[in-house]
Amino acid sequence: MPTSRYLSAALLTLATFVAAPAFAAAPADPCPTWMPDNGNGTYTNPLFYDEFSDPDLIRVGDDFYLAGTTMHAMPSLVILHSRDLVNWRFLSYAAEKLDLGPEYRLEEGKDAYGQGIWAPCIRYHQGTFYVFSNVNRKGLLVFTSKNPAGPWQQRLITPGIHDLSVLFDDDGRIYAISGYGEVHLVEFKPDLSGFIEGSERVIIPRGSAMGEGHHFYKIGGRYYIISADYAPTGRMQCARADRVDGPYETVVISARETMGTQRGWWCNNVGQRAPIPGYGATFDIHKPGDNEFGAAPLHQGGIVDLPNGDWWGLSMMDFKSVGRTTFLSPVTWTDGWPYFGLPGNLGRSPRTWVKPAVAATVAPTATYQRSDDFSGAKLLPVWQWNHVPVSAKWSLAEKPGALRLHTLPADHFLGARNTLTQRVIGPESTATVVLDGSALQPGDIAGLGLLNMPCGWIGLARTTGGLVLRCYNQLANETLDQPLASARVHLRATGNYDDDLARFSYSTDGVGFTPVGTALRLPYQLKTFQGTRYALFAFNAAGREGGHAEFDDFRVDEPFADRSQNLPLGKTISLTNLANGSVVWGNPNGMLHSARAGSPEAQSPAARFRVLDRGQGRVALEAMDGSGFVTVVGLGLSGDVRLCKQETAGSLFQWQDMLRGQCMLLSLQNHRYVGVDPLTGEPYSAESPGARPDRKDGAVFTWAQAGNP
């Protein structure tokens, strides 16, 4: 098994440098939230059901550290910590704020949406942690710390290089690679004060199928580069060479893995250099086809070794208006290449799999506490400001137990300063907050928004006629006002991020909520270059500073957070194929076949299966007509699926939780999925590499409890 010099050498040099409080547990969240750990020795992707893009990770001893893109959000450049690669906890932000000009403060009509921290590279070398990140049009920021919990020091190097990865080589030289299409190598000065003049050269020419978002390693004496290639569709490439200058050979190590997720709605006309869309803006929004080219499959990630020699990979995938999410994949080394996936199914990754084999025993852990009553002395780390805030214009102390936002002049919600945000979480979630608008002055507007482009919000506005409840939908160019007797109101935003739709509602008593306005379509777009965010805001539309708003009891509810019943152990179920609506049944010849829904076969005991618990999320399926166990036999061109009287190794399946009552059955015999030709419906076999984006390839089922006899 290959070993990483630069990762594993840390085992010899690492001291226990992280103080215990750095890893102290967050206060208990009153609302359950998505956690990938299933509590039975397995995990289910994504690791976070909210945006964590451009992941880069390292191992130092028995600890793993992860850094990701934060762009214009402040504090910036998040660092997470884990002991098992599945359960991650917030550790620090490398930059409390990134104030690099008026655009970072939403001043002078400028903005930094989608800019700032991009694709950081995290490294550990000789007792120091490093994070490198290019800031567009500003240069390369290098953050250093002896303790990953901070504090972090930073220095700016110009010119910057885009989407870089850094390698501290055995001979003491420090290299960085970057570029799209062709890969550039440049050498740092030993003190990291800049680049050695004349050291830049192309090591992989254009046309080699390498992409961007590189990850650079030296493993077993060889140099490896993992990149994201977006042509013709998202996939991951790997290049390797015996010398840092090459020549490099390349292979595809992950392709077509969408986890059965279609691309979401897309906004074509709001790009990175576009102005902030204001009132009356038009949006070119469409829904791509199920298999349209684009960066939907797993892409842009890196790999890490475990102390026992196993390897794992992290990558990201576009998850509709939630944004780009992070996925954990087992890595299989074959012929000296690190393929994402399992033997027999290289390049594809399971959605549910056994946790990494580490020494630590880690209980299911949430990365963040999302709900907040604002009773703490500081904001919870899940919160980030939209651009650099004005520190004197917000407070947790002026009214203990409430967040106070003073209104500052702005033309539009998207240009309002001191907007406090956190990422929406999928696949569905609801955010509710209590707003006290009694201190709002004429022209003031405050409320709960969904920060996207187009955006939408619900809140209170102080008009010349008094206080009104106002709901705004930018896509529909709709502003709805209605009188409100009370200045204290409960505001709610409910999103179905599988459908890319959200709705607003309000309540005066916190019990009964009244919907307001039309549904808001939430696309992905490249202006913010982020998924949708919940936003607490207050601004003055009359061009002056006004009063203030107070927010309390912010709560996030997630109906899919509890997945404990998604694996029907001990239950008798029926399986319906999502591709053609047929029911799975065992025919008298002992084959697994398709039966027309409502037919006698579909209603017979041969179409009912008891789910038997075999540990670690693995199951056996026993036909209720007594014909035997669903078993994969023969591993030639097709892994036939039969009913066998005796349970064998071929009877074991890793249950794949696809949510919403859907599942796949991953055979532990060949690491492929049980499926059927959706056109012919005959016969079942275990040869599917994984689900298509529309889930109608014949390998995805809906399951329903059929009742125990």
Domain assignment of residue 67, given as a range: 5-16+44-270+291-354
More confident residue, 354 or 7: 354
Q: Do 485 and 528 have their domain in common?
A: yes
Q: Cα separation of 147 and 154, whole Å?
A: 14
- Contact indicator for 314, 337 with CB cutoff of 8 Å: no
Q: In the predicted model, what is the mean pLDDT of residues 353-382?
A: 96
pLDDT for 1 beyond 60? no
pLDDT for 263 beyond 60? yes
Q: In the predicted model, what is the mean pLDDT of residues 431-452?
A: 98
Task: Look at residue 156 and tell me if it is in a domain.
Answer: yes
Task: Look at residue 623 and tell me if it is in a domain.
Answer: yes
Q: Do 413 and 322 have their domain in common?
A: no
Which residue in 211, 200, 70 sits closest to 133, CA to CA? 70
Residue identified by tokens 């984006």 is 693
pLDDT for 207 beyond 90? no
Q: Do 329 and 455 have their domain in common?
A: no
Q: Do 163 and 193 have their domain in common?
A: yes
Q: Cα separation of 475 and 221, whole Å?
A: 54
Task: Look at residue 206 and tell me if it is in a domain.
Answer: yes
pLDDT for 15 beyond 70? no
If one counts the domains in the chain, the total is 3
- Contact indicator for 390, 404 with CB cutoff of 8 Å: no
Q: Give strand pairing partners of 124.
A: 129
- Contact indicator for 491, 456 with CB cutoff of 8 Å: no
Give me the amino acid identity at 96.
E
Residues in the chain: 709
Q: Name the least confident of 27-41, 66-80, 180-194, 448-462.
A: 27-41
Looking at residue 639, its pLDDT comes to 82
Task: Look at residue 513 and tell me if it is in a domain.
Answer: yes
pLDDT bin (cut points 50, 70, 90) of residue 30 is: low
Q: Name the least confident of 16-30, 329-343, 506-520.
A: 16-30
Q: Cα separation of 107 and 339, whole Å?
A: 47
pLDDT for 418 beyond 90? yes
Q: Do 552 and 595 have their domain in common?
A: no
Residue identified by tokens 């109608």 is 696
- Burial state string for 362-380 with b = 16 or more CB within 10 A and e = fewer than 16: eeebbbbbbbbebeeeebb
pLDDT for 407 beyond 80? yes
CATH of the domain at 654: 2.80.10.50
Task: Look at residue 674 and tell me if it is in a domain.
Answer: yes
Which residue in 657, 559, 428, 564 sits closest to 32, CA to CA? 559
More confident residue, 73 or 23: 73
pLDDT for 6 beyond 80? no
What percentage of the chain reaches a pLDDT higher than 70?
A: 94
Q: In the predicted model, what is the mean pLDDT of residues 669-698?
A: 91
Task: Write the CA distances from 708 to 381, 567, 574, integer angstroms.
Answer: 47, 16, 11
Q: Do 638 and 674 have their domain in common?
A: yes
Looking at residue 636, its pLDDT comes to 66
CATH of the domain at 392: 2.60.120.200
What percentage of the chain reaches a pLDDT higher than 90?
A: 85
Task: Look at residue 605 and tell me if it is in a domain.
Answer: yes
Q: Do 453 and 552 have their domain in common?
A: yes
